[in-house]
Structure 1
Amino acid sequence: MTTDSKQISFKFWTWITANADRTDISYAEEFQKYGQNGFDAVLINTGTDPKLLERLVPLAVEHGLEVHAWMFTTNRPGDEVAEQHPEWYAVSREGKSCYDNPPYVGYYKWLCPTRKESRAHILSLVESLAEVDGVTSVHLDYIRYSDVFLPIGLLPKYDLVQNTELPEFDFCYCDVCVNEFEKIHHKNPKDFEHPEIDMEWKNFRLNRIKSIVDEAYDIAHSNGKLLTSAVFPYPEMADHMVRQRWDKWKVDAVLPMTYHGFYNEELDWIGYATKQGVQDLVGKQTELHTGLYLPDLNPEQLKNAILIAQQNGAKGVSLFDGNTLTDKHLRVLKTLKKELNQ
Structure 2
Amino acid sequence: MKLLKLTLAVALICLVSCAEKGSRDTAEKETAVTEAPAEKAFKYWTWITADPERTDDSYQEEFAKYKDNGLDAVLINTNTDPELLGRLTPLARKAGLEVHAWLMAMNRPGDSVALQHPDWYAVSREGKSCFDHRPYVDYYQWLCPTRKASRNHVLGLVEGLAKVEGVASVHLDYIRFSDIFLPIGLLPKYDLEQEEELPEFDFCYCDVCVAEFEKIHHKNPREMENPALDIEWKQFRLNKIRAVVNDAYEIAHKHGKILTAAVFPYPEMADHMVRQRWDKWDIDVVLPMIYHNFYNEEIDWIGFATKQGVQDLKYKDTELHTGVYVPEMSPSEIKEAVQLAKENGAKGVSFFDGPALTDDMLQAIKETKEGR
**TM-score (structure 1 length as normaliser):** 0.97
Q: How does 1:1-342 map to 2 (within 5 A)?
A: 8-339=40-371
The structure-2 alpha-carbon separation of the partners of 1:202 and 1:161, relative to structure 1 and needing over 3 Å to count, comes to same
Partner letter of residue 198 of structure 2? L
Task: Give how far 1:288 is off.
Answer: 0.2
| More contact order relative to length (CA 8 Å, sep ≥ 6) | 1
Alpha-carbon distance, 1:296 to partner: 2.0
What per-residue deviation string (whole Å, max 9, x for no partner) do you get for residues 82-119 of structure 1? 00000000000000000000000000000000000000
**How far apart in 1 are the matches of 2:40 and 2:328?**
27
2:278 partner letter: W
- The structural deviation recorded for 1:8 is 4.1
Partner of 1:3: none
Given residue 310 of structure 2, which amino acid in structure 1 is its aligned partner? V
Q: Letter of the aligned partner of 1:274 in structure 2?
A: T
Aligned residues: percent identity? Answer: 69
Query: In structure 1, how many angstroms separate the alpha carbons of the residues matched to 2:52 and 2:41?
Result: 33
- Deviations 1:219-258, CA, capped at 9 Å, x for gaps: 0000000000000000000000000000000000000000
Shift of 1:66: 0.4
Unaligned runs of 5+ in 1: 1-5
Distance in 2 between the 1:231 and 1:306 partners?
A: 18
**2-structure distance, mates of 1:121, 1:332:** 41
Query: 2-side partners of 1:86 and 1:56: how far apart?
Result: 33
* Counterpart residue type for residue 284 of structure 2: D
Structure number, greater radius of gyration: 2
How far does the alpha carbon of each residue in 1:130-183 deviate from its partner, in whole angstroms, 9 at most, with x for none? 000000000000000000000000000000000000000000000000001011
Query: How much has 1:335 moved relative to structure 2?
Result: 1.4
How far apart, in 2, do the equivalents of 1:248 and 1:112 lie? 20
SS in 1 for 2:334: helix
Q: Which residue identity is paired with 1:118?
A: S
Secondary structure at the aligned position of 2:109 is classed as coil
Give the 4+ runs in structure 1 shifted more than 3 A. Answer: none
Deviations 1:4-23 (A, max 9, x none): xx974100000110011100
Name the SS of the counterpart of 2:101 in structure 1.
strand
Q: SS of the residue aligned with 2:130? A: coil
Query: Structure 2 vs 1, CA of residues 7 and 34 (structure 1 numbering), >3 Å: closer, same or farther?
Result: farther
The amino acid of 2:366's aligned partner reads K
Offset of residue 283 of structure 1: 1.3
Normalising to structure 2: TM-score of the pair? 0.89
Deviations 1:260-297 (A, max 9, x none): 00000001111000000000000101000000000121
Distance 1:200 1:70 in 2: 32
- Figure out how many residues of one structure are paired with residues of the other and give that number: 335
Cα deviation 1:39-71 (Å, max 9, x = unaligned)? 000000000000000000000000110000000
- What's the C-alpha RMSD, in Å, of the aligned pairs? 1.0
Which consecutive unaligned segments of at least 5 residues does structure 2 have?
1-37
- SS for the counterpart of 1:122 is helix
Counterpart Cα distance in 1 of 2:215 and 2:371 = 56
Q: What letter is aligned with 2:335? A: K
- Give me the whole-angstrom Cα distance separating, in 1, the residues matched to 2:41 and 2:67: 16
Letter in structure 2 aligned against 1:286: T
Tell me how far apart the structure 1 counterparts of residues 108 and 267 of structure 2 sit (CA, whole Å).
Answer: 23
Letter of the 2:251 partner, please give it. Answer: I
